[in-house]
Amino acid sequence: MTHPGRVAVTLVKIAAVYLVVSLVIGMYMAITHNHALATVHSHVALLGWATMALTGLVYLQLPACAANRLAAAHFWLHNIGLPVMLGALTALILTGDERVEPAIGAGSTLVLLALVCFTINVVRCARAPEAGAPPISRS
């Protein structure tokens, strides 16, 4: 996944799925009056929907940042780590089985590493357009 548009658009599409998952969890909690999954809901909304969508939009605006190994590392670490963390966190809340805590830590660490890759990438690659340069075409 090295084409800048592909990384960016795929992040935004996956983020949209996380948006729906977050809304379903929120509605479930509202209907049942059981808010045990509030932590999962907030992590899905913030790390899945908001963070993934924003990073995808950043890559769309800064295509040089999306076409390198740091972007690929960010993409894969985030998309492997987040489901692991969310699944283990959900299991901990629903079952109380503390043996899943290492999986929560592993998933969280992968997401952290993903966002460190994103940050380093943006700091290294982001450049303001030159004065008088035509806007980026999306054709």
Q: Which residue type occupies 112?
A: L
Model pLDDT, residue 19: 98
pLDDT in tens, the chain (139 residues): 556 689 999 999 999 999 999 999 999 999 999 999 999 999 999 999 999 999 999 999 999 999 999 999 999 999 999 999 999 999 999 999 999 999 999 999 999 999 999 999 999 998 876 665 566 555 5
The answer to whether 122 and 74 have CB atoms below 8 angstroms apart is: no
Residues in Cβ contact with 92 at an 8 Å cutoff, skipping those fewer than 6 apart: 98, 100, 101, 104
Structure tokens at 30: 């509202």
Give the model's pLDDT for residue 74: 98
What pLDDT was estimated at residue 128?
A: 72
- Treating both helix axes as pointing N-terminal to C-terminal, what angle do 101-125 and 69-95 enclose, rounded to 10 degrees? 150
